[in-house]
Structure 1
């Protein structure tokens, strides 16, 4: 979608975020204490003890990508776990996993898996991509090169979309979320720096893109928001 018709878009990512208890990380030892708050020290601690989990994830998707796309060793550039981040760069895209201590629940860690930096978005629709990742992701995220006015989105939806839309937002209009009667299970989340479409359950990547297209059809102003 990025290009001259959607100049605001900086990148598109397929995303899945999952939480687990810090004590369930493979690097957590009996001598460790579960953090009661989130500080620079505890964030670094969680990133360090998550390295085994990140390494196991790299092993899984290195093998999956190599088999699905028939990549050679040299075509897969691996960034080993460090600072809570690990990645595999392929000729078509980058797979990345990030482990971060939860801001809201300091006893938990958020595992964010994403594929982004696509050379050609058509690869998402390929059988190879589906074989490599299956139904891993539950969201499509568009990040912006310049900020979006969330107030404009809220005002337009409230004035134009009718009874088929439900919108929620905070009092300072930092974010809003939109659900449409014709798209069961789909939610459009909007912030100044990103737009995300999520589904209630994980889906194959082409199906997630179809949900994004449904929102674009039902809310035609989306394309204008992305290109202004």
Structure 2
């Protein structure tokens, strides 16, 4: 079961109500939460980039495939290091792992969680790459609070992202928050009402919301355990503020 089944119920949403739970399948439409971290760099810095290669000038399928090929050694190096760290911290046996790495994409499946590492052409700049580490599933309730998980991924992952089951009316959420003085002070948003941010210094938390997702990130130093704990507190605050938010069973 993937982790932190944070299904969120907003008005006009079909998501059901209930307490926090782990997800049942990473491929299920109900899988909505993930722990993510990414780094950006120049394509020419990738280990597989050769002197005779040319840096992509635009986005295309061919450029994407090139970046994945050039970045494959970097993905494999990162995946091999995480594999070793996970084995050391959790004591898994070889047969308990499912590991694969090819074409700039690595997948590691363990008894407690699944993760992937991938390299892609950066959407904002065709000359850059983005390498992403993503915990896409937690299989037990307790693993989200496990210090071994926090220790292993604190410096790899710095965001909790909840993908909504269906698009939300962002401007409606802004109106609700502006009617609550304590939250209105922490609120900023796009002029067209397409996205907003909540900056909560007491929780050391930045929340970014658009019609498709809600992202949580610490304002200060990385700390995965703190991020998960404070994100839950923020969800509770929004729920108590009648934000139309519930956690799904």
Q: TM-score range by the shorter chain?
A: 0.7 to 0.9
Which residue does 2:218 correspond to in 1?
Answer: 199
Distance 1:197-1:59 versus aligned 2 partners, 3 A rule: same
Which residue does 2:88 correspond to in 1?
Answer: 67
Distance 1:219-1:131 versus aligned 2 partners, 3 A rule: closer
How far 1:177 moved relative to its partner? 1.8
Distance 1:134-1:197 versus aligned 2 partners, 3 A rule: closer
Which residue does 1:159 correspond to in 2?
Answer: 179
Q: Distance in 1 between matches of 2:136 and 2:32?
A: 7
Which residue does 1:5 correspond to in 2?
Answer: 18
Q: Distance in 2 between matches of 1:175 and 1:145?
A: 17
How far 1:110 moved relative to its partner? 0.9
Is residue 105–residue 119 contact of structure 2 (8 Å, CA) maintained in 1? yes
- Residue from 94, 104, 110 that aligns with 2:114: 94
Distance 1:226-1:148 versus aligned 2 partners, 3 A rule: farther
Secondary structure of 1:56's aligned partner: helix
Is residue 122–residue 128 contact of structure 2 (8 Å, CA) maintained in 1? yes
After TM superposition, list the pairs within 5 Å mapping 1:135-214 onto structure 2: 135-162=155-182, 163-169=184-190, 171=192, 173-184=193-204, 186-201=205-220, 203-214=222-233
Bigger fraction of residues in strand: 1
**Does residue 118 of structure 2 align to residue 105 of structure 1?**
no
Q: Distance in 2 between matches of 1:134 and 1:216?
A: 21
Which residue does 1:31 correspond to in 2?
Answer: 52
How far 1:192 moved relative to its partner? 2.3
Aligned-residue CA RMSD in angstroms? Answer: 2.5
Please identify, of 194-203 and 61-70, the stretch whose mean Cα deviation from structure 2 is larger.
194-203
Q: How many residues align?
A: 225
Q: Distance in 2 between matches of 1:201 and 1:180?
A: 12
Please identify, of 5-14 and 135-144, the stretch whose mean Cα deviation from structure 2 is larger.
5-14
How far 1:62 moved relative to its partner? 0.8
- Output the TM-score relative to the length of structure 2: 0.80
